[in-house]
Structure 1
Amino acid sequence: MVGHNPTADIAGAARVMLVDDSAVVRGLMRRWIEGHSALCVAGSASNGAEAVEMARKVQPDLIVLDLEMPIMDGMTALPHLLQAVPKCKVLVASTLSTRNAKISLKAMSLGATDYVAKPGSGSITRSQFEQELLAKLVALSPSVGRQTPMPAPKPLASSALAHHQGITGLALVASTGGPVVLSQLMPHLRQFARHLSVFVVQHMPAHFTPLLGKDLCTLSHFGGGEAEQGQAVAAGHLYVAPGDYHMRLSQRATGLCLSLDQGPPEHFCRPAADPFLKSFAAHYGPQGAVFVLTGMGSDGAAGALSVRQAGGIVVAQDQQSSAVWGMPGAAVANGSAHHVVGLAEMGDALSGLLQQKGQRAAMPYA
């Protein structure tokens, strides 16, 4: 057993356990975390077996989990860690590669909350790793979730409805915790392929988005996947913004199509939700709906407000079911959200919204 430090706890700080077979990486993460007032290191382990034993003893709030380790790897350890500390949030850490992206997405489907890219692939610097690691750990800290009072979830009301032609475009935007929510929503879309196009903006690296697109299409029975430059938009298709590219809609003589660019990051993200949603609002108007899902930061709030102002419907995930109530919370705070819905009710809410013919929700969020 390595790295148990019971004296390191700081009042109010989130307790982090580090799991990595590299002593150098553990040392770097420890130094960064101990330099942050909102975080402290509760312990560290060099393999999954040590991590499971330590987790039972120290009961951390957060775990940074490496995937490739001797004796017991991260994927094998994950279910045991979640069983040992059910309320703990696990941040998977690995170098960027297609293989590791597949494993990381699998880990998130099995209960890990999010992913952070480690240096080693040549595309991630040590400074970027530090910044992303600390930002995500702070965002996932229990104290952050307690700071903002949670409004009561609002159902998608049918009592105050105005005429429209039906929703034909659906945008789903998310960051931290998003892949799990997206996967749960996909089966509810299967019956709407004849008239619906779906667009997904999930903050993810380039190695991840092709795999995410493939998984979401399999679950929804929609065609499509990761978006391509100039791709025509069609009903029954799902389009995922590629990692490191902004996605927008544009009108051509042949019809609506997708436009990709590597313009400056927005909210430190590329892809970002705001540039897509602003174009979505312009092209879909009252026939568009957006679900702002779990995620850190405020990306998507300005774009969601554009959707609302264009006559579309905006739904935000509630705080209780969000891994991080940043993006949906910002959509509530700026007045763009018509409704706040918990994850357990979101699939039914989505189906109910898409089944509305000739009517749309007009009741403002209150």
Structure 2
Amino acid sequence: MSIKVLVVDDSALIREVLARMLTRDGDIDVVGTATDPIDAREKIKTLNPDVVTLDIEMPNMNGLAFLEKLMRLRPTPVVMVSTLTKKGASETLLALELGAVDFVAKPSAEFAGGLDAFGVGLRDKIRAAAKSDVRGRSASRAEVPKTGKIPLKTAAAPEGALIAIGASTGGVEAIRAVLAELPADCPPVVIAQHMPAGFTGRFAARLDELCALKVQEAEDRMALKPGHAYVARGDYHLRVERSSGQLKCRLEQDRLESGHRPSVDVLFESVARTVGPMAVGAILTGMGRDGARGLKLMRDAGAYTVGQSQASALVYGMPRVAFEEGAVVEQAPVEQIAAKLATALVKLKNAA
């Protein structure tokens, strides 16, 4: 059964490029195109697409305003088509907060040669979006009570402890949910989220606005400090190394791992090797298997590991593979993961 896609973009060229790229493998069918949200609204009703691609800048109604209405009235998997600008990055992150499943950077005139790679990434994201549980996520958001949550008091741990987190599709919101719960006294946090260059800096800045931790984009040889979180830079692998008695970030552009750069496997493997039983790790929502091998190495090295549960994951791919391969000690809903990590860290402190 092919995946039905509606392409929404005011540019005839972009509509044509997206339609051509999407239908290349035969398992995706572009059932229609729309030039603006007004047009899209009617076509969603009549065509009932499995996934919608949506531009942000459009006439008659801003793409974000349309997305917010769509997720409230008729939750549908949406992949944003974003511009590679600072404004585009900020708006894209807002779209993900509003319920979009994922995004691709809009191909431009200088994209030539890279169009095939763009097409592969686009088709993969559409497939992941088609499997995502946006209706379940919308319902669970509506059900979450706004009061009575007891904040975590502490996640203090011995010197040398570390938290490692990996995610892909749906990870922007899942990482925010975990980091927002972590108190400022926690050990350093290192994060690998599948995201292209140009977006990770804005992602880190957005997390920094919402969390007690100081969140920043990782830089090569940056020392890891308690109360700080470090987001892998787009198109760079993030590793953790010990140098002069300190844990530090290493950023390198060596080959793709598990099809990605940054790769969760690369980060987790370095944590297993460098930090061993003093680490705790979480694998969150995402398509594919990146992170399962690295998390298994962390668990084998004595680290506590947790995977996001199926019911709370937008795409239960990466956490499922990690669970099936014995890489996680336990699974938990995303809203409980920070507390699970904190409990494991307190045990480390008590054992020290």
Relative to the length of structure 1, the TM-score reads 0.83
**1:221 to 2:212 alignment:** yes
Query: Take 1:347 and 1:186, find their aligned partners in 2: how far apart are those partners?
Result: 7
Aligned residues: 328
| Deviation digits for residues 190-210 of structure 1 (CA, Å, limit 9, x no counterpart) | 2xx334111111011121111
| Deviation digits for residues 318-338 of structure 1 (CA, Å, limit 9, x no counterpart) | 223222222112211221111
Query: How far is 1:355 from its partner?
Result: 4.0
Equivalent residue for 2:185, pick from 176, 182, 194? 194
Alignment of 1:246-265 (within 5 A): 246-265=237-256
**1:56 to 2:45 alignment:** yes
Large movers: runs of 4+ above 4 Å: 164-167, 357-360
Q: Tell me which residue corresponds to 1:139.
A: 128
| Deviation digits for residues 226-264 of structure 1 (CA, Å, limit 9, x no counterpart) | 011111111111111111111111221252211111111
Q: Tell me which residue corresponds to 1:305.
A: 296
Task: Say if 1:166 and 1:354, in contact at 8 Å, map to a contact too.
Answer: no
Query: Take 1:79 and 1:214, find their aligned partners in 2: how far apart are those partners?
Result: 22
Gaps of 5+ in 2: 135-156
**1:277 to 2:265 alignment:** no
Query: How far is 1:279 from its partner?
Result: 1.1
The 1:97–1:105 alpha-carbon spacing in structure 2 relative to 1, beyond 3 Å, is: same
Query: How far is 1:17 from its partner?
Result: 1.2
Q: Tell me which residue corresponds to 1:122.
A: 110
Query: Take 1:180 and 1:195, find their aligned partners in 2: how far apart are those partners?
Result: 20
Q: Tell me which residue corresponds to 1:363.
A: none
The 1:224–1:184 alpha-carbon spacing in structure 2 relative to 1, beyond 3 Å, is: closer
Partner SS, residue 30 of structure 1: helix
Query: Take 1:184 and 1:136, find their aligned partners in 2: how far apart are those partners?
Result: 22
Query: How far is 1:71 from its partner?
Result: 1.7
Aligned AA (1:18): V
**1:40 to 2:29 alignment:** yes
Gaps of 5+ in 1: 1-11, 146-163, 361-366
| Deviation digits for residues 72-127 of structure 1 (CA, Å, limit 9, x no counterpart) | 221121112223422x1110012322211111001101111111112117367322
Alignment of 1:261-340 (within 5 A): 261-340=252-331
Alignment identity in percent? 34
Query: Take 1:281 and 1:123, find their aligned partners in 2: how far apart are those partners?
Result: 38
| Deviation digits for residues 160-190 of structure 1 (CA, Å, limit 9, x no counterpart) | xxxx969921111011110011111122112
Aligned AA (1:234): K
Q: Tell me which residue corresponds to 2:141.
A: none
The 1:306–1:105 alpha-carbon spacing in structure 2 relative to 1, beyond 3 Å, is: same
The 1:311–1:276 alpha-carbon spacing in structure 2 relative to 1, beyond 3 Å, is: same
Equivalent residue for 1:101, pick from 79, 89, 93? 89
The 1:38–1:271 alpha-carbon spacing in structure 2 relative to 1, beyond 3 Å, is: same
Query: How far is 1:57 from its partner?
Result: 3.1
Superposition RMSD in Å: 2.4
Query: Take 2:102 and 2:314, find their aligned partners in 1: how far apart are those partners?
Result: 9
Deviates more, 1:55-64 or 1:229-238: 55-64
Query: How far is 1:351 from its partner?
Result: 4.0
Equivalent residue for 1:233, pick from 224, 229, 235? 224
Partner SS, residue 64 of structure 1: strand
